[in-house]
Amino acid sequence: MSIIECRRCGKLLQYQQLKDLPFFPFCSKRCKLVDLGQWFNEEHRLPGEHAADDKEDNDETTAPRG
Ligand SMILES: [Zn+2]
């Protein structure tokens, strides 16, 4: 048997196999969602960057070298 701490709240989780913890490495779905949510927010938080919405009409043809 092994024991881990929930990555989110630090609750001790006992398990014999990882499949015993459906939300590994979290204790619950809530902890998992909260943690992933924060991670997502961090990822999406870009410092004053505007969306590159203007597509250039360049012809990107890959010319074979050689
Ligand atoms: Zn937890």
For ligand 1, the distance from its centroid to the CA atom of residue 7, given in whole angstroms, is 7
- Tell me, in angstroms, the distance from the centre of ligand 1 to residue 26's CA: 5
Residue 9 Cα, ligand 1 centroid: separation in angstroms?
4
The answer for residues whose C-beta is within 8 angstroms of residue 30's C-beta and 6 or more apart is none
Q: How far is CA 22 from the centre of its chain?
A: 17
Distance CA 13, CA 20 (A): 10
How far does residue 25's CA lie from ligand 1's centre (Å)? 9
Q: Report CA(5)–ligand 1 centroid distance (Å).
A: 8
User: For the chain, which domains are there?
Assistant: 2-40 (3.30.50.10)
Q: Out of 7-11, 20-24, 38-42, pick the least confident.
A: 38-42
Which residue intervals of 1-66 are DSSP H helices? 29-44
Per residue in 38-58, pLDDT tens?
766 665 565 665 555 666 666
User: What is the CA angle 29-35-37, rounded to 5?
Assistant: 100
pTM: 0.55
